Amino acid sequence: MTMSLWRSTIFRLLMIYALVFAGSVGGLVWINYWNSANYTAMQADYNINWQFQYFAALPRNLMLSQIDARTRTTIRRPVNFYGVFAPNGQHLTGDIASSPAGVKSDGDGVWLRPQLISPTLERPMYMRTRATRLPDGDLLVIARDVDEMARLRSYMLGGIAWSGAIALLGGLGFGILCSAVQLRRINEMRRLTHLIAQGNLDTRLPERGGDELAWLSQIVNHMLDEISRLMHEVKSACDGIAHDLRTPLIHIRSLLARIEPATLSDEDAQRLQRAAQETDEVLTRFAAILRISEIEALHRRAGFSDAEMHVLCRQVGELYAPVAAARNVELKLDLQHVLPVRADHPLMFEALVNIVDNAIKFASHEGVVAIKVQQCAEGPRITVCDDGPGIRADERVAVLQRFYRSERTRDTPGSGLGLSVVQAVAHLHDFRLTLEDANPGTCVALDCWSERHAP
């Protein structure tokens, strides 16, 4: 699975933070809007109420004349607008043309723009309107222009909103940049851990940064150091045992070879032959163990050159044709011309020999072993299929380990190290070795391209 920025935990936390921050800024804007609107309404109602008290205290004629004088003022844009209406609704004076239907007498102020008489007067957008019943029964309506306070409120809230947006975008940009940097480090750690999983235990994770990823890398590297040390000790012990026991076994084999069978009875001669065969089998196993250790110890690719897999398979087929014929097994070759790959020619030849030898060994009597080479999009693929007893799905990983013998083939002669040699060569080349069901039998596939690019 490919790791992307959109799927990273850091980016998801960043998005959650962005939503919380945006909600907080929205709540702040709404609270400020609500408080400023209430304050504007309170101040407008207070001013209107003060004027109600003032005009109610005046005689009727003086009140009408003062309102008429105020409506005829030369002020470019007045703040207050007035309207006096008789009990029957007749307009008496003022620049409010009609009594607003939505305004109750002596009720709370409402946000309402009444109809004005002067068509040339610039009509305010926000007006607070109230009405009161005078002692003589007339209705006094006053509307106050609060556009200036509304604009100030809009500027203030707009500034808060823009500041929040800038802070949010800046934080998101910086967070995405930090997430991309962390994701690059994670992808590098993922690439290195993939190499470690392939058997390159000398690879270590980068510990730069001093953060939690560096702390995790230190823990993993310490664990790898311990694993490498323990594996090296076990491997050294196994290789030492194989090397130390090989010499006395060779001496025993040479001593057995010096015994003349003619001087022994038939029963003793058979026992001598059996002892020699068992000694040869043990020497073969020790030689395979040391060979696997030798292949796994190779880290340089200086000996690699362009190798043509179809040519190698043809050479192996020609080598094992007599062996297959001796066991009544038909050896089929389907070798397409494929592009050359960088490989160690002797090691690949050794790996193919082990695969074909196993296939012929486990093929049924008068069975078929097919060697096929085909060109895939990534590179050449080699498959060797037999019609033998096959390998169960739960054993296909275990058979690649040293000395493992399946219950189906335990009676067949062998050391259980052939596929281990093939696996070691595949790891050295970074190729992929897979075992598949041939129905019946087993199909061994060797993909001759980098396993890191495998689908």
CATH number at residue 430: 3.30.565.10
The CATH number of the domain where 221 resides is what? 1.10.287
Q: How confident is the model at residue 297 (pLDDT cuts 50, 70, 90)?
A: low
What is the Cα–Cα distance from 161 to 22, expressed in whole angstroms? 10
Domain end point (choices 150, 173, 192)? 150
Q: Are residues 334 and 376 in the same domain?
A: yes
Residue 116 has pLDDT above 60, yes or no: yes
Dihedral angle at the C-alpha atoms of 209, 215, 217, 222, nearest 10 degrees?
130
Q: Which domain holds residue 243?
A: 212-296
Per-residue pLDDT, 313:
92
Q: Are residues 311 and 288 in the same domain?
A: no
* 443 to 328, 393, 395, 435: CA distances (angstroms): 20, 12, 14, 6
Range in 109-113, 233-237, 255-259 the model is least confident about? 233-237
Which spans in 146-211 are helix H? 147-197
User: Mean per-residue pLDDT for 370-391?
Assistant: 89
What is the Cα–Cα distance from 40 to 308, expressed in whole angstroms? 88
Question: Which range, 152-161, 218-227, 321-330, 423-432, is most confident?
Answer: 321-330
Pick from 396, 389, 317: nearest CA to 349:
317
Range in 74-78, 324-328, 398-402 the model is least confident about? 74-78
194 domain-assigned: no
What is the Cα–Cα distance from 418 to 139, expressed in whole angstroms? 111
Pick from 403, 387, 399, 407: nearest CA to 435:
399
Give how far the C-alpha of residue 293 lies from the chain's centroid of Cα atoms, to the nearest Å. Answer: 37
Per-residue pLDDT, 454:
43
Q: Are residues 28 and 98 in the same domain?
A: yes
User: Mean per-residue pLDDT for 253-277?
Assistant: 76
* 12 to 97, 181, 197: CA distances (angstroms): 60, 15, 29
Pick from 302, 311, 333, 438: nearest CA to 380:
311
Asked whether 80 and 54 are in contact (CB, 8 A), the reply is no
Per-residue pLDDT, 298:
54
Asked whether 210 and 187 are in contact (CB, 8 A), the reply is no
Q: Provide the b/e sequence for 361-387 (b: ≥16 CB within 10 Å).
A: bbbeeebbbbbbbeeeeebbbbbbbbb
DSSP secondary structure, 122-133, as one string: PPPS-EEEEEEE
Dihedral angle at the C-alpha atoms of 229, 231, 236, 241, nearest 10 degrees?
140
Pick from 123, 129, 125, 133: nearest CA to 144:
129
What values do phi and psi take at 11, rounded to 5?
A: -70, -40
State pLDDT tens for residues 404-426.
Answer: 556 555 555 555 566 777 887 88
Residue 85 has pLDDT above 60, yes or no: yes
Per-residue pLDDT, 402:
60
Q: Are residues 283 and 328 in the same domain?
A: no
421 domain-assigned: yes
Per-residue pLDDT, 220:
85
Sheet arrangement for strand 127-133: 91-94, 80-85, 139-145, 127-133, 110-111
Per-residue pLDDT, 1:
46
User: Mean per-residue pLDDT for 105-132?
Assistant: 78
Domain end point (choices 296, 319, 336)? 296
176 domain-assigned: no
User: Mean per-residue pLDDT for 237-257?
Assistant: 68
Residue 285 has pLDDT above 70, yes or no: no
Q: Are residues 331 and 429 in the same domain?
A: yes
Number of domains in the chain: 3
Mean of the per-residue pLDDT values of the chain: 78
The CATH number of the domain where 106 resides is what? 3.30.450
CB-CB neighbours of 428 under 10 Å = 22
Element (H, E) at 360: helix 345-362
DSSP secondary structure, 113-124, as one string: -PPBS-TTSPPP
397 domain-assigned: yes
Q: Are residues 131 and 32 in the same domain?
A: yes
**pLDDT: is 144 or 274 the higher one?**
144
**pLDDT: is 402 or 382 the higher one?**
382
Domain end point (choices 116, 132, 150)? 150
Residue 373 has pLDDT above 70, yes or no: yes
* pTM of the complete model beyond 0.85: no
Pick from 283, 355, 290: nearest CA to 319:
355
Q: Any bridge partners for residue 446, and if so which?
A: 382, 433
Residue 61 has pLDDT above 80, yes or no: yes
